[in-house]
Structure 1
Amino acid sequence: MKKLFNACLLLLLFSKAATAQNAGKTFTNPLMPSGADPWVTYKDGFYYYTNTTGGNIVIWKTKDVTALGTAPKTAVWSPPQGTPYSKELWAPELHFVKGKWYVYFAADNGDNNNHRIYVIENSSADPTQGTWEFKGKITDSTDKWAIDASVFENKGSWYMIWSGWEGDHNGQQNIYIAKMKDALTIGSERVKISSPTYDWETNGNLHDGKLTHVSVNEGPEILKHGHKLFLTYSASGCWTDFYALGMLTADKNSDLLNPASWQKSAQPVFKQSPQNSVYAPGHNAFFKSPDEKEDWIVYHANSNPNEGCGNKRSPRAQKFTWNKDGSPNFGVPVKDGEQLAVPSGTK
């Protein structure tokens, strides 16, 4: 009995020591020097991360999402040359749907006008293992220009959201939603739920001291909390410092294919912080800490003004909280090099 007591005491002390050690562990942003359109998902004790490379699909695997710089990464799929999806692979997202892994991404043949959404599939338990199989294009009946696809489940049904054009020419990017028949097929007509309407959604470049006008809503992502669905999206030109996150809100019991179910916030919910030297924050994703006690946002941003939307955009992460009305409070982008505690429960 005494040996058992001593063993339990040692286990308790070890647990407290590990907790104390974890409590003192910190990280700094950016997580890596470069990496636009970051995406994170968590399964079976590991975080799987991906971002835009432009030419292939790469997945990082780690128990500590803040240590991406040293995490092993695997190039899991590259497109064959000479196809409609050989070039400009943008914003890959990794999702586990009904027992299989899927990566949804946008690609074209070198002409941006031909960007569409494509998908690859893997039945392995670990997305960095097994075989990724190209499954084709995913589109609604209009087959219009589309990028930045994400999928989510609500009340047993799956939906896809993306950024697209109303017609065949680059004039305005809107947010669309459609119900999915399965992980590879859109099963309804697309519905437009957001268009750029506020000034902060339509900032372009400066010319002769005046801002040019653009109309961009892109990078939609879903965040669930209570009975609400929050859809964040990126607004204004990504090449400007004014790139920022807007938000739509819907009740989970509403008809998500009805545009009236989605209410747009009048102000951006996350934007540049010149005082912290963080510019053009956007195209985010959300994740929980390993112990599921904390909510985190990952996003890309620039460390200096006028750096555009090239390879200087770097992935960053920070914890966020909730307002009394149940809406998310993302705060202000934290400055480069600021010491932050790692997500709780990180090993």
Structure 2
Amino acid sequence: MPLEYSFIRMRRLSLLSLFLFLLVLTPAWAQRTLTNPLKASGPDPWVVYKDGWYYYMNTVGNRLDLWRTRHMADLGTADRKTVYTPPASGPYSKQLWAPEIHFLNGKWYIYFAADDGRNVNHRMWVLENASADPMQGEWVLKGKLADPGDHWAIDLSVFEHKGKLFAIWSGWEGAINGRQDIYIARLKNPWTMKGDRVRLSKPDLPWEMHGDVPEEWQKNGEVPQVLVNEGPQFLRKDKNLFIVYSANACWRDYCLGQLQYDGSGSLLKAVNWRKSPQPVFVQAPENGVFAPGHNSFFKSPDGREDWILYHANPSETDGCGNKRAPHAQRFSWNPDGTPNFGKPLPKTPMPAPSGE
């Protein structure tokens, strides 16, 4: 073999070895990070991961917007599209709150609360899209999703358990009484309830009864105290089932509580659910994170990590406005199978979800 050819061959092998070496090390060197908040504003955040994309929504108020990104760190600059604008008047024309996008039975659905401009008329509504890409296709209003009594309702989420579809949401027992409870019901299909609602939780522990209304609000006819259980989200780990919900008023001591299914009997019986005696996620003033709540959950793209997404305020006095911004962080599990959310992390870079 000519010496010149041998040298060239050795050089190529060396370059190939270097390339393979760098390829192995690159993931460690190029670890993506994200920093909270993920964008400047975003009350009531919701995200789902499918086919390489995160699909994200939050309350905008007068319409429904959908964001799409491959990396949670890029949420602030993600593709954004208004997928639904309601009519100028009517029962679902105003105050569009807490939208969620779900992929069910081969189609996309968006659930949102809306009213005619009067909060007492808030109900849940459902949109359907048959397109494989929810940023494309037509969103069709399927109608109102209500229990037989047609009660006030917000913050509805859906989940499947043993082949059956369920809805969980926040509602009033009757007329406005200053208290919001957590309800569950079976669904006949993604836009129709099957049977009546069942109340699973009401604010009845000392830590979830901090809802004093500011005096200036009372002058406008508000009740003196609002006791809140809202924003319920379903969480599953192996055979353990949980509902994580927001407690207290969004302007004071907002935090997360938890219900755990005891593993026996119907999900539609309140006696089969046990409430955590203490909140499971509270604010961290030392980290500049106040009033964390209205969460959702997602898996990392490789399925190895569990993440919580929630909104929080940058200060104690920011209340229920647009300073609420989306935060995300990884959480773990306790030896007894319950989730361990830790505390809200500081606004410093952290590793992005694995598999991105």
If the TM-score is normalised by the length of the shorter chain, which range does it land in? over 0.9
Gaps of 5+ in 1: none
Q: Does 1:20 align with 2:28?
A: yes
Looking at structure 2, the residues matched to 183 and 328 of structure 1 have their Cα atoms a distance apart, in angstroms, of 28
- The answer as to whether partners of 2:262 and 2:274 remain within 8 angstroms in 1 is no
Distance 1:7 1:254, change over 3 A: farther
SS in 2 for 1:245: strand
Looking at structure 1, the residues matched to 38 and 226 of structure 2 have their Cα atoms a distance apart, in angstroms, of 30
Calculate the TM-score normalised by the size of structure 1: 0.93
Distance 1:207 1:104, change over 3 A: closer
Q: How do 1:307-346 residues align onto structure 2 when only pairs under 5 Å count?
A: 307-336=318-347, 338-346=348-356
Specify the alignment match of 2:244 in structure 1.
232
- The answer as to whether partners of 2:34 and 2:72 remain within 8 angstroms in 1 is no
Aligned partner letter, 1:41: V
1:70 to 65, 77, 80: 77
Distance 1:250 1:78, change over 3 A: same
Aligned partner letter, 1:195: K
Looking at structure 2, the residues matched to 223 and 345 of structure 1 have their Cα atoms a distance apart, in angstroms, of 21
Deviation at 1:193, TM superposition (A): 0.2
Aligned partner letter, 2:324: R
Deviation at 1:48, TM superposition (A): 0.3
1:46 to 45, 53, 75: 53
- The answer as to whether partners of 1:33 and 1:312 remain within 8 angstroms in 2 is yes
Deviation at 1:7, TM superposition (A): 11
Deviation at 1:257, TM superposition (A): 0.3
Looking at structure 2, the residues matched to 21 and 127 of structure 1 have their Cα atoms a distance apart, in angstroms, of 34
Aligned partner letter, 1:234: S
Looking at structure 2, the residues matched to 6 and 262 of structure 1 have their Cα atoms a distance apart, in angstroms, of 63
Calculate the TM-score normalised by the size of structure 2: 0.90
Residue correspondences, number: 338
Q: Deviations over 1:45-85 (max 9, x none)?
A: 11100000001111111111222011111111110111100
Q: CA RMSD in A?
A: 2.0
Looking at structure 1, the residues matched to 234 and 46 of structure 2 have their Cα atoms a distance apart, in angstroms, of 12
2:285 to 274, 277, 280: 274
Aligned partner letter, 1:163: S
Q: Does 1:293 align with 2:301?
A: no
Distance 1:44 1:18, change over 3 A: farther
Identity across the alignment (%): 53
Q: Deviations over 1:107-162 (max 9, x none)?
A: 00100000000010001111111110111100010101000000000011010000
- The answer as to whether partners of 1:296 and 1:318 remain within 8 angstroms in 2 is yes
Runs of 4 or more off by more than 4 Å in structure 1? 5-15
Looking at structure 2, the residues matched to 184 and 63 of structure 1 have their Cα atoms a distance apart, in angstroms, of 29
Deviation at 1:345, TM superposition (A): 1.0
Specify the alignment match of 1:254 in structure 2.
265
Q: Does 1:81 align with 2:88?
A: yes
Looking at structure 2, the residues matched to 121 and 72 of structure 1 have their Cα atoms a distance apart, in angstroms, of 21
Specify the alignment match of 1:143 in structure 2.
150
Q: Does 1:223 align with 2:230?
A: no
- The answer as to whether partners of 1:113 and 1:170 remain within 8 angstroms in 2 is no
Looking at structure 1, the residues matched to 25 and 99 of structure 2 have their Cα atoms a distance apart, in angstroms, of 39
Distance 1:257 1:20, change over 3 A: same
Aligned partner letter, 2:131: S
- The structure number with the bigger radius of gyration is 2
Looking at structure 1, the residues matched to 39 and 315 of structure 2 have their Cα atoms a distance apart, in angstroms, of 16
Q: Deviations over 1:22-62 (max 9, x none)?
A: 43x22210001100000000111111000000011111111
Looking at structure 2, the residues matched to 42 and 253 of structure 1 have their Cα atoms a distance apart, in angstroms, of 30
Gaps of 5+ in 2: 1-8, 216-223
Q: Which stretch shifts more, 245-254 or 263-272?
A: 245-254
SS in 2 for 1:260: helix
Deviation at 1:277, TM superposition (A): 1.6
Q: Does 1:111 align with 2:123?
A: no
